[in-house]
Structure 1
Amino acid sequence: MQKNILFLVTGMTPQIITETLYALAVDSENSDKWVPTEIHVLTTAKGKIQIRSRLFNDGIFEQFLKDFHLLNMRFDDSTVHVISHQGKELEDLKTLDDNELAANETCRLIKLFTEDDNSKLHVSIAGGRKTMGFYAGYALSLYGRAQDSMSHVLVSEEFEFASNFYYPTPYEHYVGKYNSQERLNAQHAKVFLANIPFVRLRHALPDTHPLKMDGYQFSDVVEQINQSNQNLSLEIDFTHKYIRVNRGEQVNIPPRELAMLMWFADNKVKGKSGIKAPTGKAKGENSVAENQIIEELTADYLKHYDDLKGSETSIVVNKEFFDSTKSKLKKHLEKKLGVELAARILPKQNGRSMPFYLPIESEYITIKDNFKDRLVSIQ
């Protein structure tokens, strides 16, 4: 069954909910009407009180459904989400920590709503503090799919701050004009829905990207993406079998893949032009020249691998081994660091027949190695 999910961020103005719902599902000037089956709202403790008091207890939402003959729309206490910290609901967003909690919860909910292939999500950024609207738009850009959309709702100027105005009624209904004794007929109000285009990143990223994994906070995702655009430093601790990027957390790497990365780092530190990948067949006859290249590459690789794992004479750095180990290193780094950051560390080449090289300047490579002084530069 198709789910149409409307997600809003609100503060002390619950009328944003009914105004947006009117613009999407009712407005005669909207030729492409969209009726949600669920309405989810992220708000503060004070905001939830306003929603309960005005929309639920005063019966405004129920009246809205009756006025426009709308059925089977889920919106109740269970779909009103309050930003919380350690089980305590936040009254308002007052500190940097509060805003980070709002960002994380917004990101979590939008990720959750977009995991169901049978759902369409519409995000409204009209309510709440400006930071909340920004986080909602940013999160939708990270997780939004082709079927998802975003908007901001506006009302005609004289009704913008009118008391007890919630939507244009299909009958005469008078509300108070802001700072005036004048009364306005809600039947004459206009609601304008501004659809907001946004960049969709979700399908440009593989499933191994941290954006698609559980447990990542909004701030973690932003930091990881930002790191991919900063100057990059790489520390390889060969003794303890881990790397560290931009002085971040330790990333443990399996021996074969770590030996390959170390091999390329050693090559870069020594100022060499790179490592040319082996050619020839994994099995069968190779030319004398091809066999010589494979023997030389194997000897160079084992200088690093032997210290990690001990002598393993079965290893031959032929084309199959080289491509397979490089591929496993890529998958491991993408899983641990993200696609953007991993791409700046992985060996690459400038053309099909060119040598592979590490795309990091040698002065930003730190190597810690207690096994032997075989490197030109050991930090």
Structure 2
Amino acid sequence: MKRILLAVCGLSPQVITETLYALHQNYQPVDAIHVITTRDGKERIFAQLLSGKSGHYHRYLAEYGIDANSIDFGPDNIHVITDEHGNEIPDIVSESDNERLLGKCLELAFRFTADPATAVFFSIAGGRKTMSACLMVAAQMYGRPQDRVYHVLVSPEFESNRNFFYPPRKSKIIELLDANGQPFFKETKYAEINLVHIPFVSIRDRFSGEYLDSPKDPGTLLLSLIKEEEAKLTVNLLNLKVIYKHLEADLMPARLALYVFFVLQKKNCPKDVSSCGKCRECFMNIQEILGNQGVIADIYGRLRKHYYLGADRVSGIMKLDKENFNSYRSKVNADLRKIFGVHAVKDIGISPIGRRPNTRYGIKLDKSRIEVIY
């Protein structure tokens, strides 16, 4: 069975060699290493681990007599998180960055667990806490009985030390810092690296086949587990929540105002049909939407009473035009997609139909499955 170490890493690439050392000390061979990191993390890995024979990864293999060809680990195995334009991001500093990180974790977890002849070791020891959390989510979504989640605990004085990457066979003295930041010297033979097996609950076997044919976002995967023949969409204007299949989404007031407008347009449609799921009479073109600016502004005015927005803040929702309507619609759907998943947004999002310039917009979900609480 091929054993793959899938790790997250920030600016301390030592965690890779420390984890590899701990696995080997526990008689766990590794056949391939893949690392999820940022642009800055990649540069550290290249400079400190993979820089030829002087790189600490290669030095570790040579020192412990491990054939370098027995482990697949090189530049192609470093998976850098990118933004929507394909640019490598230097750090995880925003919600958008975190979404891209989670997507990468899910993508690689899906890819490496697709082959039943593999075992994946998810290492959550490196990087920012959000990186560990995202990889843990990926393990819970796609992990199998043969997969493991590991953390490594390193003696505090050696942890993240720039000169310590693994305990060498022959102990040597290195400079460390104490709790007060004062330097002192200690032999590496006193360094302890403990491999900690983290139990996790995988829900992979509860997904039907269609949810395992390609990577899916967590919202889509979780909603697939909720067995409801007719899930209802609830928009609660008292607590400003959008609720669908027992999950809740919070939208910014301007976005919620636009969404409520479309929800009410659907809910209050006077057309009498047995099922409005395929009817599109309530869908509106851009001119009709802009013609309802007063209605949207009134909804926004009622909602903003529940938020502290500042006396001088005026939202663009109060003066809609074609461009900012498309921007608001995109952001509303992105908010819903983040919580409820891609497939749910096809029903409950603000959807377009028809080709330009005859595009119309509305919500596809049957109005009998929509509830608005005032």
Of 226, 236, 246 in structure 2, the residue corresponding to residue 229 of structure 1 is 246
- The residue type equivalent to 2:33 in the other structure is I
How many equivalent pairs are there?
Answer: 244
Contact in 1 for aligned 2:277/2:367 (Cα 8 Å): no
- The residue type equivalent to 1:191 in the other structure is I
Q: For residues 51-62 of structure 1, what are the structure 2 equivalents within 5 Å? A: 51-57=45-51, 58-62=54-58
Quote the Cα distance in structure 2 between the aligned partners of 1:153 and 1:242.
54
Contact in 2 for aligned 1:163/1:177 (Cα 8 Å): no
Corresponding residue for residue 115 of structure 1: 114
Quote the Cα distance in structure 2 between the aligned partners of 1:185 and 1:108.
41
- Please list the CA deviations of residues 239-286 of structure 1 after superposition, one character each: whole Å capped at 9, or x if unmatched: 665499xxxxxxxxxxxxxxxxxxxxxxxxxxxxxxxxxxxxxxxxxx
Q: For residues 235-254 of structure 1, what are the structure 2 equivalents within 5 Å? A: 241-242=277-278
Contact in 2 for aligned 1:45/1:90 (Cα 8 Å): yes
Quote the Cα distance in structure 2 between the aligned partners of 1:196 and 1:56.
28
Q: What secondary structure is seen at the aligned counterpart in 1 of 2:106?
A: helix
Corresponding residue for residue 346 of structure 1: none
Contact in 2 for aligned 1:163/1:176 (Cα 8 Å): no
Q: What secondary structure is seen at the aligned counterpart in 1 of 2:50?
A: helix
Of 58, 83, 86 in structure 1, the residue corresponding to residue 81 of structure 2 is 83
Task: Name the % identity.
Answer: 31
- Please list the CA deviations of residues 25-47 of structure 1 after superposition, one character each: whole Å capped at 9, or x if unmatched: 1x2xx3xx211100000000000
Relative distance call for 1:218 and 1:237 in structure 2 (3 A) is farther
In our comparison, the structure showing a higher alpha carbon Rg is: 1
Q: For residues 1-379 of structure 1, what are the structure 2 equivalents within 5 Å? A: 2-25=1-24, 27=25, 30=26, 33-57=27-51, 58-71=54-67, 72-85=70-83, 86-178=85-177, 179-208=181-210, 210=211, 212-214=212-214, 216-218=216-218, 220-221=220-221, 227-230=244-247, 241-242=277-278, 366-367=367-368
Contact in 2 for aligned 1:172/1:185 (Cα 8 Å): yes
Could you list the runs of 5+ residues in structure 2 that have no partner in the other structure?
227-243, 249-262, 281-341, 345-364, 370-374
Contact in 2 for aligned 1:44/1:91 (Cα 8 Å): yes
Q: CA RMSD in A?
A: 3.1
- The residue type equivalent to 1:73 in the other structure is I
Quote the Cα distance in structure 2 between the aligned partners of 1:243 and 1:70.
66
- Please list the CA deviations of residues 38-74 of structure 1 after superposition, one character each: whole Å capped at 9, or x if unmatched: 0000000000000000011142111101111222111
Quote the Cα distance in structure 1 between the aligned partners of 2:132 and 2:109.
13
Could you list the runs of 5+ residues in structure 1 that have no partner in the other structure?
245-334, 338-363, 369-379
Structure 1 residue 336: deviation in Å? 6.2
Contact in 2 for aligned 1:122/1:149 (Cα 8 Å): yes
- Please list the CA deviations of residues 124-161 of structure 1 after superposition, one character each: whole Å capped at 9, or x if unmatched: 10111111100101110110000000011011122124
Q: What secondary structure is seen at the aligned counterpart in 1 of 2:33?
A: strand
Relative distance call for 1:98 and 1:230 in structure 2 (3 A) is closer
Structure 1 residue 225: deviation in Å? 6.0
Output the TM-score relative to the length of structure 2. Answer: 0.59
Quote the Cα distance in structure 2 between the aligned partners of 1:215 and 1:198.
20
